[in-house]
Chains A and B, each alone.
Chain A
């Protein structure tokens, strides 16, 4: 899976990578020439016999044709210095090109990955979101993408670089002096394997550091979000102790990691420097024996320090690479989750608002049916209410209507259309839902209100906020309709959030309006005004109300009392309150408190036992 994902997102970006690697090759070719120039220059200065007729001497004599010894030397030096600087500058140009190409490719891939993830998350079924931890998803979308991006911008090229260095430098070394060349490669296998072994080991420590950090963050976050509870029970000392523990753990894990790294870097530094020392001493004895010139010795030492550090670094690079593979795997898990289907019929016109349920059943995988063979009819423009204990299936009906879940048996008709054959987005566009704990976006109040219909006029917005009894409150905010919502904006009470969400639903002007226990935090006085305003709306939409409070449901044209996924009573308030049954009992408990509290408690016991049977 990660492989497929890698192939598909890197499409179109492979060319810049190729260019980048080419640029790198070229820049290193320039850099590799530098020690050769210094070597030749040094050898000429030391009047090594092998250097007569050398290209550098020829260049120098072309620059200066006189006989003066000193001027000849100066010319030689100036030529070599100029060439060195030019070569470095040229290498620099290609370094820059490499950086540019890699950045545009790796950032381009990261952008594509981010966009794709967001789009996918928006189109995954609600069930996926219900069963997935938000923190984990965000973690994947941010740090896993980042891990992968770092790999793309750094490690890919690091690997190429180390390989390239070895491939290019080795032949140069062998052409200079085979015995020295062998010697200079002596520690490579040791270095390489110890790097890999070590980083395999350190990986588990990295994980432990990450885990202890996550724990620390959790403790901190829990404390800060629950600070009122902490204070309410005067648990500061307990919290400080708890935090101290995870804080100390994080510190100790960090120290352990650093000790391990310290050990490794000390060891590998020793090998690397020892390797250079070996060259120096052995080279010196060969120089004495006349096998090697001083310039060549210098060149060997320079080359060695060029190649040895990237090799030492390989262990880290390989660890990071394996991390990147894991990260990509986690991302492809998200991206391979099937999205909601999109290709059904999408009519052009607005629905009237008739709803028919016919023998509908629904259950989550392997559990009890939540909706059990339910049938009902709602006419366009009607206001109906669903009432029932938690788990009776009230909210599930709404989720089925919105195609957030797909029903497994029976039929649901919106006007003449079978819902499962209608495009989800079309069906959702025909409805507005207000939830109990509505989500408002961190944008201005106005932005939130026009979410469902961006072209809504100012009058329409105000009409909606007035109906939702929130217009006056909004005007009291510092920047009225332009006030920001969220942690950095105005603080809204539960009731205010619910009323803004209601206004947002009304601005959309849908044929079907659904209130899912959405006035629970609004006081009864205001609620009555809202319900009256909804009744007096000009374009009267089909309205479904789900509530716990009688005051919210009793004005409905029809009330459905649900239990265990079935309709057990239906009718309007008058008929139901005269009919013996749960509704009547609820009326008594909640409303008729003129009688004694003991009496209602007794009735409660009766009603509860009845319900649980």
Chain B
């Protein structure tokens, strides 16, 4: 699913009680602002640039005023060159400041989004799987991409516009009050009206823009579904149905986009008219005062210019304020992602040992470097939501043993393995490595000794070689080829256009499911793990290839602790022990012969598979 689908517009409803814009919670923004203030010098430079820009913009009408006053009052300008010089000076200052604020602002913005993303990513690497269980990849992607960009926009450009707006508004107000207080006050009376109109429209414009974005991500999602499911649509002949459904979305898109454009088209003329009202007032009163000789013609002209200039910042401020309101949810979600704590991490004692470990022979956590035995002792387990998944599991696996787990879907096989890998921890009971509770060992120690082939093999974008090498980053080409041979992957890799350097596309889309599995086999073999785990790893390889793999794996399994989940009994028949798991409990345990003699569940499964049982039926 595309990440656009998980734009907060689609997910917002889960976190906000209603569609009303959330009230701006300054606490969150303060935390976020720390990302900006980390670059204190740049923030100060940026603010200075914004300040200079505003000052220059205020200065130009004043220069014009002086020139015109000189002309109209004295009939000549004492020193036109001096004015030209001053003007050129301000020009240069403004040009430099504009360049400066784009440089510093651009730098600040890029760094802020970089830093937020970095912190988010690093935390994601350490969060336990329970965090991922309820957050789809697309959702996380949207937080890490569009949300980051949006927030850093607010933090960098918002700050810039804030300084600029405040400076220019106080500057202009100050200049007007200084030149002619009464006239200034009259012009400023239009201010509240403008603020109100701006806030009113900006929040509506943003709201409909939000609706547009929401519909847009649905459209993206719909394209995605239609393309991914094109074979299904064709075979079920649902093309017309798809188009009709999609047509509803594009109609909705049309409507909200036009609504958004209309709101913007209404807002602009309103502001323009208000602006002309202000300069109209300036003209009438200023003109009368000019007639009385209270003000000069230059002042009047300056007023006319200022009365228009004064309103620009309000548009900007209203925009950012509305944007902050809308981005409130994004800010909260990003901060919660960065602050999320992993359920599974090294205990303080383990951390202390990790720091003090110096021995060459011991593991990084200061204990034995070997794993000769894994023991489950009275292990119960349940996920955050739902009932118990595993109950009363007692199990001991020794080095050199291969354990096969058998059971129907949802019986708890995968959870058992996740516990072993410490992707989750037991709810009650213990898992011991050579007699030590694994919670007293370093997380990295256990996991760096694991080799896992998962149910759905994931292949990264890159070359075939890169993918296998992921198992051991220091492996050379020969070792990689060797691993591939053992996994039975070599024969198809060498037939690929560029052999081991063939690029495999987005999520390895050019490989069949079976081929992806063989590559992840090779990856696990290359890792040379103390503990090897396979989850239904052979389910989509055809019989011959599977036999191929098994021959190689037989050698590999030797001397390790191996745990295999597979539906096909032929692949697990040569296991040291077979566990039959049903409804979260181990109901049968023993080797093939023992279980066959027991004539229980395993016996029944096996009979079904056996050829001889056919003739009986």
Q: Is B170 positioned at the interface, with any CB of A under 8 Å from its CB?
A: no
Q: Does the CB pair B543–A589 fall under 8 Å? A: yes
Specify which of A111, A280, A425 is in contact with B87 (CB 8 Å cutoff): A280
Quote the shortest CB–CB distance from B408 to chain A (angstroms).
Answer: 5
- CB within 8 Å for A257 and B106 given contacts A96-B265, A224-B141: yes
Quote the shortest CB–CB distance from A406 to chain B (angstroms).
Answer: 13
Residues of A contacting B506 in the complex (Cβ-Cβ under 8 angstroms): 133-135, 218
Residues of A contacting B96 in the complex (Cβ-Cβ under 8 angstroms): 266
B270: nearest residue on chain A (CB-CB)? A92
Q: Does the CB pair A269–B94 fall under 8 Å? A: yes
Residues of B contacting A88 in the complex (Cβ-Cβ under 8 angstroms): 272-273, 275-276
Q: Is A495 positioned at the interface, with any CB of B under 8 Å from its CB?
A: yes
B122: nearest residue on chain A (CB-CB)? A240
Specify which of A236, A288, A607 is in contact with B125 (CB 8 Å cutoff): A236
- List 6 A-B pairs, minimum CB-CB distance, nearest first: A258-B106, A99-B265, A92-B269, A262-B102, A266-B99, A103-B261
CA distance in complex: A287, B72 (Å):
9
Instruction: From B31-39, B159-167, B280-288, B351-359, give the one contacting chain A.
Output: B280-288
CA distance in complex: A591, B121 (Å):
48
Quote the shortest CB–CB distance from A476 to chain B (angstroms).
Answer: 9
Q: Is A243 positioned at the interface, with any CB of B under 8 Å from its CB?
A: yes
Instruction: From A7-15, A195-203, A358-366, A520-528, give the one contacting chain B.
Output: A520-528
Q: Does the CB pair A436–B513 fall under 8 Å? A: yes
Residues of B contacting A526 in the complex (Cβ-Cβ under 8 angstroms): 408-409
Residues of B contacting A76 in the complex (Cβ-Cβ under 8 angstroms): 287
CA distance in complex: A40, B260 (Å):
39
Q: Is B95 positioned at the interface, with any CB of A under 8 Å from its CB?
A: yes
B460: nearest residue on chain A (CB-CB)? A222
Residues of B contacting A89 in the complex (Cβ-Cβ under 8 angstroms): 269, 273, 276
CA distance in complex: A528, B605 (Å):
11
Q: Does the CB pair B227–A284 fall under 8 Å? A: no
Q: Does the CB pair A224–B137 fall under 8 Å? A: yes
Q: Does the CB pair A92–B273 fall under 8 Å? A: yes
Specify which of A73, A255, A517 is in contact with B288 (CB 8 Å cutoff): A73
Instruction: From B239-247, B331-339, B368-376, B428-436, give the one contacting chain A.
Output: B239-247
Please report whether the interface of chain A is mostly helix, strand, loop or mixed according to DSSP: helix
Residues of B contacting A389 in the complex (Cβ-Cβ under 8 angstroms): 542, 544
CA distance in complex: A504, B545 (Å):
31
18 pairs across A/B with beta carbons < 8 Å?
A99-B266, A115-B243, A119-B243, A122-B230, A129-B227, A133-B509, A138-B220, A153-B261, A257-B106, A263-B99, A273-B94, A274-B91, A280-B63, A284-B71, A493-B409, A521-B539, A522-B409, A590-B568
Contact with A along B234-261 (1 / 0, CB 8 A): 1111110111001100110110011011
Q: Is B26 positioned at the interface, with any CB of A under 8 Å from its CB?
A: no
- CB within 8 Å for A95 and B269 given contacts A41-B287, A108-B254, A270-B95: yes
CA distance in complex: A262, B139 (Å):
34
Residues of A contacting B313 in the complex (Cβ-Cβ under 8 angstroms): none
Q: Is A228 positioned at the interface, with any CB of B under 8 Å from its CB?
A: yes
Quote the shortest CB–CB distance from A287 to chain B (angstroms).
Answer: 5
Residues of B contacting A494 in the complex (Cβ-Cβ under 8 angstroms): 455-456, 539
Residues of A contacting B100 in the complex (Cβ-Cβ under 8 angstroms): 262, 266
CA distance in complex: A74, B523 (Å):
89
CA distance in complex: A102, B234 (Å):
37
Residues of B contacting A18 in the complex (Cβ-Cβ under 8 angstroms): none
Q: How many residues of B contact A (CB 8 A)?
A: 173
Q: Does the CB pair B460–A226 fall under 8 Å? A: yes
Q: Is B594 positioned at the interface, with any CB of A under 8 Å from its CB?
A: no
Q: Which of A16-40 contact B (CB under 8 A)?
A: 34, 38
Q: Which of A224-240 contact B (CB under 8 A)?
A: 224-236, 238-240
B72: nearest residue on chain A (CB-CB)? A294
Residues of B contacting A402 in the complex (Cβ-Cβ under 8 angstroms): 234-235
Instruction: From B171-179, B196-204, B609-617, give the one contacting chain A.
Output: B609-617
Q: Is A107 positioned at the interface, with any CB of B under 8 Å from its CB?
A: yes
Quote the shortest CB–CB distance from B339 to chain A (angstroms).
Answer: 18
- CB within 8 Å for A137 and B458 given contacts A259-B103, A288-B76, A288-B77: no
CA distance in complex: A437, B232 (Å):
11
Contact with B along A402-442 (1 / 0, CB 8 A): 10100000000000000000001100110111011111011
CA distance in complex: A81, B456 (Å):
74
CA distance in complex: A504, B236 (Å):
10
Quote the shortest CB–CB distance from A315 to chain B (angstroms).
Answer: 16
Q: Which of B142-198 contact A (CB under 8 A)?
A: 144-145
Q: Does the CB pair A548–B106 fall under 8 Å? A: no
Q: Is B28 positioned at the interface, with any CB of A under 8 Å from its CB?
A: no
Residues of A contacting B258 in the complex (Cβ-Cβ under 8 angstroms): 100, 103-104, 107
Q: Is A114 positioned at the interface, with any CB of B under 8 Å from its CB?
A: yes
Q: Does the CB pair B609–A524 fall under 8 Å? A: yes
Q: Is A604 positioned at the interface, with any CB of B under 8 Å from its CB?
A: yes
Q: Which of B493-527 contact A (CB under 8 A)?
A: 505-507, 509, 512-514, 520, 523, 527
Instruction: From B112-120, B318-326, B395-403, B556-564, give the one contacting chain A.
Output: B112-120
Q: Is A178 positioned at the interface, with any CB of B under 8 Å from its CB?
A: no
Specify which of B110, B137, B455 is in contact with A254 (CB 8 Å cutoff): B110
Q: Is A247 positioned at the interface, with any CB of B under 8 Å from its CB?
A: yes
A118: nearest residue on chain B (CB-CB)? B246
- CB within 8 Å for A247 and B114 given contacts A91-B269, A108-B254, A220-B145: yes
Q: Is B410 positioned at the interface, with any CB of A under 8 Å from its CB?
A: yes
Q: Is B224 positioned at the interface, with any CB of A under 8 Å from its CB?
A: yes
Q: Is B540 positioned at the interface, with any CB of A under 8 Å from its CB?
A: yes
Quote the shortest CB–CB distance from A57 to chain B (angstroms).
Answer: 13
Q: Is A390 positioned at the interface, with any CB of B under 8 Å from its CB?
A: yes
Specify which of B447, B461, B543, B548 is in contact with A590 (CB 8 Å cutoff): B543
Q: Does the CB pair B283–A41 fall under 8 Å? A: yes
Q: Does the CB pair A277–B269 fall under 8 Å? A: no
Q: Is B391 positioned at the interface, with any CB of A under 8 Å from its CB?
A: no
Contact with A along B62-90 (1 / 0, CB 8 A): 01100110111001110010011001101
Residues of A contacting B140 in the complex (Cβ-Cβ under 8 angstroms): 224
CA distance in complex: A419, B513 (Å):
31
Quote the shortest CB–CB distance from B262 to chain A (angstroms).
Answer: 6
CA distance in complex: A74, B287 (Å):
8
- CB within 8 Å for A227 and B126 given contacts A262-B106, A520-B540: no
Specify which of B92, B247, B514 is in contact with A270 (CB 8 Å cutoff): B92
Residues of A contacting B290 in the complex (Cβ-Cβ under 8 angstroms): 45
Q: Is A3 positioned at the interface, with any CB of B under 8 Å from its CB?
A: no
Quote the shortest CB–CB distance from A398 to chain B (angstroms).
Answer: 10
Specify which of A217, A231, A266 is in contact with B145 (CB 8 Å cutoff): A217
Q: Does the CB pair A600–B291 fall under 8 Å? A: no
Q: Does the CB pair A233–B471 fall under 8 Å? A: yes
Instruction: From A164-172, A182-190, A372-380, A549-557, give the one contacting chain B.
Output: A549-557
CA distance in complex: A80, B100 (Å):
41
Residues of A contacting B40 in the complex (Cβ-Cβ under 8 angstroms): none
Q: Is B29 positioned at the interface, with any CB of A under 8 Å from its CB?
A: no
Residues of B contacting A607 in the complex (Cβ-Cβ under 8 angstroms): 544
Quote the shortest CB–CB distance from B354 to chain A (angstroms).
Answer: 14
- CB within 8 Å for A439 and B250 given contacts A225-B458, A261-B106, A390-B542: no
Q: Does the CB pair B284–A45 fall under 8 Å? A: no
Q: Which of A114-171 contact B (CB under 8 A)?
A: 114-115, 117-119, 121-124, 126, 129, 133-135, 137-138, 141-142, 153
Quote the shortest CB–CB distance from B85 to chain A (angstroms).
Answer: 10
Residues of B contacting A368 in the complex (Cβ-Cβ under 8 angstroms): none
Quote the shortest CB–CB distance from B98 to chain A (angstroms).
Answer: 5
Residues of A contacting B235 in the complex (Cβ-Cβ under 8 angstroms): 402, 404, 428, 431-433
B224: nearest residue on chain A (CB-CB)? A138
Quote the shortest CB–CB distance from B615 to chain A (angstroms).
Answer: 8
Q: Is B415 positioned at the interface, with any CB of A under 8 Å from its CB?
A: no
A555: nearest residue on chain B (CB-CB)? B614
Residues of A contacting B219 in the complex (Cβ-Cβ under 8 angstroms): 114, 142
Quote the shortest CB–CB distance from B100 to chain A (angstroms).
Answer: 7
Residues of A contacting B25 in the complex (Cβ-Cβ under 8 angstroms): none
CA distance in complex: A439, B231 (Å):
9
CA distance in complex: A126, B201 (Å):
48
